[in-house]
Structure 1
Amino acid sequence: MNDIEYKVLKPNNLLSDFVESFWMLKNSSQNNKNVVILPDGRFDIIFTLKDKKIFHTTLRGLDTTPNKAIISANTTFFAVSFKLLAIEYLIGNKVDLLLNKGVFLSSAFGNITKDDLKDFNVFCEKISLHLTSLISPKIDTRKQKLFDLIYNSNGTLSVKELSEKVFWSSRQINRYFNQTFGISLKAYCTIFRFKISLMDIKKGKLFPELNFTDQTHFIKEVKKMSGVTPKELSKNENDRFILLSIMSK
């Protein structure tokens, strides 16, 4: 990652239920960087500027499998990574048809232009003001509590446990997840638990920590999400697993 510049900022308290982070990825070199995108339980709006003139905005849905990608030479990415509650109460779009892919946005989201990709802090301030103005005043407290439980438990609670804690039937929750996000609640929790496990894998801890049944189950889930075993993932040869590479040590 020597040729790649990366920055991340957390949102203010008003946006904390909806935004996971703001981030910048910049490849100022003349060489493309081949990477693998790993599932991380977020959806993103990404603003891309190539060669200081080609500008576009992409809405990317949830990833459920590893995807090969290229960080193009002379390209800057500024992005907002959203928590799931934002789909209904901030963005107003469903992303059920965007699993493992993205779509170009035809209009300028948040009035962001290529000139806003010159300064990351200024970008974060501008997009934060826009997102704050979009927050719906009527939020279903069951959904708010559900997502809090998922995130705070690192995806380790079962569907039954989550259903009982928020007084919402498992069937209704799964219908909501499938219709809005394109996956079941259980599938999402598996993704989120995998993401949290990456911190241990990066430290060389190649054994289960987060309520995996056993070592075999852990290896199977990691391989499903990354395409490789925990041992291979921890080596991260050539920094190709981008999420692992940019995680704090």
Structure 2
Amino acid sequence: MAGGDGLRFAFGTLTVVPVRVTRWDREAARGGMRAAPLVGVAVGAVAGAVGAGLHAVGASALLSAVGAVAVPAVLTRGLHLDGLADTADGLGSGKPPAQALDIMKRSDIGPFGVLTLVLVLLGQVAALTACYGHGWVYGATSAVAGAVAGRVAMTLAARRGIPAARPGGLGAAVAGVLSPRTAWTVAAGCAGLAALAGAGFAGLTWLRFLLAAALAATAAESLLRRCRTRFGGVTGDVFGALCETAATCALLVLSLR
């Protein structure tokens, strides 16, 4: 379990929650990446509650979904979305690894990044619209499951054997801090909890939640392999891209209820 330093590291680096990160060493990073799914629970709970609140006052499923999608962007100050856009620009540039990494460090967003952001946000809104169409409880639960799936992808990317693409930054701070066994145990535990959450609904919904968790991790792992091949490892931007990719994949699966 993550201790106090790990929780402060997780919330202080992955959200805008005013937490004072007192340690920035490998041990704190290890606890922080183990605790990343807890950040997903917190962010997803707020997102789901906002969507549910809008639903309760008569808003359409679409407006409820927009509210739910906006919350993680606000609570992370767009950090993961920015990482997604930068990673898309780096992957789409066709440049050698060093030049691609330089492109990712720039403050502007290129055409690949813009297109990826638009499609991902549209996908998230469309998926949550369908989820809230099944009622606010299902919509809110799906929002939490998607947020957790995104942070599980971060936990998996912090396992040993996955190097940092460059020194410095969040990527270098957390790269390789977890053993593969620990990372996959956290992922399996979160998948089990997702299935348990789905068991509260009728039929085989528990299986849909389990599949959402599994397919989200699979999609993130595919992107991670591509980034390792293309950049030589992970960066903070790659972690953000993995989070958004996994979250979107999970929501898409859950929307097909």
TM-score (norm 1): 0.27
Ranked by relative contact order (alpha carbons within 8 Å, sequence separation 6 or more), the top structure is 2
- Please tell me whether Structure 1 or Structure 2 has the larger radius of gyration of its CA atoms: 1
Of Structure 1 and Structure 2, the greater helix share is in 2
